Amino acid sequence: MAFKIIVCAKQVPDTNEIKIDPVKKTLIREGVPSILNHDDANALEEALKLKDEHPDTHVTVVTMGPPQAKDMLIECLAMGADEGVLLSDRALGGSDTWATSNAIAAAINRIGEYDLIFAGRQAIDGDTAQVGPQIAEKLGIPQVTYVAEFNIDDDRKRITVRRALEDGYELIEIDTPCMLTAIKELNKPRYMSIGGIFDATKKEVPTWGAKDLGVDVDREVGLEASPTNVFRSFTPAPKGKGVMIEADGEKEIADRLIIGLKSKHVI
Amino acid sequence: MAIIVIKEKCVGCKLCVKACPFDAIDMDGRLAVINEKCTACNQCIAACKFNAIEKSGEEAGPIDLSAYRNVWVYAEQRAGKLMNVALELIGEGRRLAREISDDTKVYAVLVGEGVGALAQECFEFGADGAYVIDAPLLKNFTTDGYTKVLYDAVKEYRPEIVLFGATHIGRDLAPRVAARLNTGLTADCTRLDVKTSSYIEYARNNTTLDTSDLDPNSDDKGLKQTRPAFGGNLMATIVCPRTRPQMATVRPGVMSKRERAVGAKGERIDVSPKLSEGDIRTRIVDIVKSAKELVSLTDADIICSGGRGLGDPSGFDLIRRFAEKVGGVVGSSRAAVDAGWIAQSHQVGQTGTTVKPKIYFACGISGAIQHLAGMQTSDIIVAINKDPDAPIFEVADYGIVGDLYKVVPQIIDEWDRAEELYDATLRQA
Q: Which of residues 40-79 of A touch B (CB under 8 A)?
A: none
Q: Check residue A22 and give its pLDDT.
A: 61
Same domain, B131 and B49: no
Report, as an integer, the average pLDDT of B235-249: 95
Question: Which residues of chain B have a CB within 8 Å of the CB of A235?
Answer: 207-208, 233-235
| pLDDT grade for B295, boundaries at 50, 70 and 90 | low
Is residue B292 domain-resident?
no
Q: Count the domains in chain B.
A: 3
Report, as an integer, the average pLDDT of A212-223: 94
Which residue, among B161, B164, B168, B295, would best test binding to A if mutated, counting the most A CBs under 10 Å from its CB?
A: B168
Q: Are B6 and B52 in contact (CB under 8 A)?
A: yes
- Residue B417 is given by DSSP the state G
Domain end marker among B55, B74, B91? B55
Is residue B11 domain-resident?
yes
Instruction: For residues B99 and B97, give the distance between their C-alpha atoms in angstroms, rounded to a whole number.
Output: 5
Question: Which residues of chain A have a CB within 8 Å of the CB of B237?
Answer: 230-233
Helix (H) or strand (E) run with residue A146 in it: strand A143-152
Out of B47-61, B227-241, B319-333, B335-349, pick the least confident: B47-61
Question: Which residues of chain B have a CB within 8 Å of the CB of A103?
Answer: none
Same domain, B31 and B170: no
| pLDDT grade for B293, boundaries at 50, 70 and 90 | very low
Helix (H) or strand (E) run with residue A266 in it: none
Same domain, B169 and B274: yes
Closest chain A residue to B360, measured at CA: A266
Same domain, B123 and B202: yes
Using the beta-carbon criterion (under 8 Å), do A168 and B171 form an inter-chain contact?
Answer: no
Amino acid at B336: A
Same domain, B265 and B307: no
Q: Check residue A25 and give its pLDDT.
A: 58
Same domain, B156 and B30: no
Instruction: For residues B416 and B414, give the distance between their C-alpha atoms in angstroms, rounded to a whole number.
Output: 6
Q: Check residue B313 and give its pLDDT.
A: 94
pLDDT at B70 over 60: yes
The domain over range A3-225 is classified in CATH as 3.90.1150.10: no
Closest CB to B421 among A97, A160, A255? A255
Domain end marker among B245, B279, B313? B279
Q: What are the boundaries of each domain within chain A?
A: 3-225
Helix (H) or strand (E) run with residue B111 in it: strand B106-112
Q: Check residue A263 and give its pLDDT.
A: 86
Report, as an integer, the average pLDDT of B371-380: 86
In sequence order, which residues have a C-beta less than 8 Å from that of residue A16 and are 6 or more positions away?
Answer: B231, B354
Is residue B425 domain-resident?
no
Q: Check residue A20 and give its pLDDT.
A: 64
pLDDT at A261 over 90: yes
Q: Quick one: what percent of chain B has pLDDT higher than 90? A: 67
Task: Provide the shortest C-alpha distance from residue A161 to chain B (in Å).
Answer: 10
pLDDT at B354 over 80: no
Strands B3-5 and A158-165, sheet pairing = unpaired
What 3-state class would DSSP assign to A149? strand
pLDDT at B62 over 80: no
Instruction: For residues B418 and A108, give the distance between their C-alpha atoms in angstroms, rounded to a whole number.
Output: 49
Using the beta-carbon criterion (under 8 Å), do B229 and A126 form an inter-chain contact?
Answer: yes
Q: Check residue A197 and give its pLDDT.
A: 94
Report, as an integer, the average pLDDT of B142-159: 98
Closest CB to B184 among A139, A145, A227? A227
Same domain, B48 and B76: no
pLDDT at B265 over 90: yes
Q: Check residue A72 and give its pLDDT.
A: 97
Q: Check residue A14 and give its pLDDT.
A: 82
Q: Residue B403 belongs to what domain range?
A: 302-419
**Most confident listed range (A263-267, B49-53, B70-74):** B70-74
pLDDT at B21 over 80: no
**Most confident listed range (A92-96, A117-121, B51-55, B346-350):** A117-121
Q: Residue B118 class from Cβ within 10 Å (0-12 exposed, 13-18 middle, 19+ buried)? A: buried
Q: Which of B319, B399, B291, B300 is nearest to B358 (CA)?
A: B300
Closest CB to A137 among B20, B180, B281? B180
Strand partners, B78: B81
Same domain, B263 and B338: no
Instruction: For residues B128 and A177, give the distance between their C-alpha atoms in angstroms, rounded to a whole number.
Output: 42
Q: Check residue A265 and give its pLDDT.
A: 82
Is residue B427 domain-resident?
no
Task: Provide the shortest C-alpha distance from residue B304 to chain A (in Å).
Answer: 14
Closest CB to B168 among A138, A164, A178? A164
Question: Which residues of chain A have a CB within 8 Å of the CB of B180?
Answer: 137
Question: Residue B387 sits in a domain of what CATH number?
Answer: 3.40.50.1220
Instruction: For residues A107 and A94, give the distance between their C-alpha atoms in angstroms, rounded to a whole number.
Output: 18
Task: Provide the shortest C-alpha distance from residue B265 to chain A (in Å).
Answer: 29
Residue predicted with more confidence, B54 or B93 = B93
Q: Is A24 on the interface with B (CB under 8 A)?
A: no
Is residue B285 domain-resident?
no
Prediction pTM value? 0.79
DSSP B336-360: HHHTTSS-GGGBBSSSSB----SEE
Same domain, B111 and B173: yes
Residue predicted with more confidence, A157 or A233 = A157
- Residue B415 is given by DSSP the state G
Report, as an integer, the average pLDDT of A133-140: 98
Out of A228-232, B121-125, B222-226, B367-371, pick the least confident: B367-371
Mean pLDDT, chain B, whole residue set: 91
Using the beta-carbon criterion (under 8 Å), do B425 and A259 form an inter-chain contact?
Answer: yes
Strand partners, A178: A116
Domain end marker among B246, B279, B312? B279
pLDDT at B244 over 50: yes
Using the beta-carbon criterion (under 8 Å), do A25 and B254 form an inter-chain contact?
Answer: no
Residue predicted with more confidence, A73 or B58 = A73
Q: Check residue A156 and give its pLDDT.
A: 93
Q: Are A178 and A156 in contact (CB under 8 A)?
A: no
pLDDT at B59 over 50: no
Is residue B186 domain-resident?
yes
Give residue-wise pLDDT tens across range B177-215. 999 999 999 999 989 999 999 999 999 887 888 899 999
Cα–Cα distances in Å, from B335 out to A149, B296, B310, B327, B373? 38, 20, 11, 24, 15
Q: Are B24 and B9 in contact (CB under 8 A)?
A: no
Question: Residue B184 sits in a domain of what CATH number?
Answer: 3.40.50.620
Provide the ipTM. Answer: 0.91
Report, as an integer, the average pLDDT of B77-83: 94
Q: Check residue A27 and give its pLDDT.
A: 65
**Most confident listed range (B116-125, B250-259, B343-352):** B116-125
Is residue B429 domain-resident?
no
Instruction: For residues A132 and A10, give the distance between their C-alpha atoms in angstroms, rounded to a whole number.
Output: 12
Report, as an integer, the average pLDDT of B299-319: 94
Q: Are A124 and A17 in contact (CB under 8 A)?
A: no
Q: Are A57 and A2 in contact (CB under 8 A)?
A: yes
Helix (H) or strand (E) run with residue B381 in it: strand B380-385
Q: Which of A178, A67, A186, A199 is nearest to A118 (CA)?
A: A178
pLDDT at B344 over 90: no
